[in-house]
Amino acid sequence: MSLRYLVLTGLFVVSLPLLWLWLTLLSPWTYQQPEGLPAMPESQQQVFVYGTLTHAPVRWLVYGRTGNPVAAQLAGFERQGLDLAPNAHAQVNGLLLNVNVNELRRLDRYERLGVRYERVRVRLSEGQQAWVYQRLNASPAPVD
């Protein structure tokens, strides 16, 4: 095998994940926010995350910083795969993120708001309200 072949193969293998990340997180062609979604809040927002966004490198890739998340719990729900399901005797552990409007927009894009997920308000075990992404057509998460 020639050195040129090895270098080209290496570049190809490295570029595929980078291309996927760009298409998923930044590309203008892979997500268009659907019409009719609620207006974007302009102030700092709190978002409860319980999956991939609990990992600092993922948050950095999605909205440009790792932030200073705080451990949080959502009582009355359990994780079912990529979603939350009501369960009065369960609790979901996650993180509470504080984000600005641009970071919330990037989170909406990552979660495919209006396509795969909706953003709903919930009351966390600690008492504060936060947004959480819940699969579309799932049981709604109530806010007290």
Q: What is the CATH number of the domain that holds 53?
A: 3.10.490.10
Same domain, residue pair 8 and 46: no
Residue pair 105/77 in contact (Cβ under 8 Å)? The answer is no
pTM of the model: 0.77
Predicted pLDDT at 26: 67
Burial class of residue 140, CB neighbours in 10 A (0-12, 13-18, 19+): exposed
CA distances to 26, 49, 58, 85 from 126, in Å: 34, 15, 25, 19
Q: Residue 21's domain spans which residues?
A: 1-30
Same domain, residue pair 4 and 52: no
Could you count the other beta carbons within 10 Å of the beta carbon of residue 113? 21
Predicted pLDDT at 87: 94
| Of the candidate ranges 54-63, 95-104, 122-131, 132-141, the one whose mean pLDDT is the lowest | 132-141
At residue 1, does pLDDT exceed 70? no
How far, in Å, CA of 121 to CA of 115, rounded? 18
How far, in Å, CA of 33 to CA of 15, rounded? 27
- What does residue 92 show for φ and ψ, rounded to 5 degrees? -110, 125
Give the pLDDT confidence of 12-57 residue by residue, as tens digits.
888 888 788 777 766 767 777 778 777 777 889 999 999 999 999 9
How far, in Å, CA of 73 to CA of 94, rounded? 6
- What does residue 70 show for φ and ψ, rounded to 5 degrees? -120, 140
Average pLDDT, integer, range 44-72 = 93
Domain assignment of residue 80, yes or no: yes
Domain assignment of residue 47, yes or no: yes
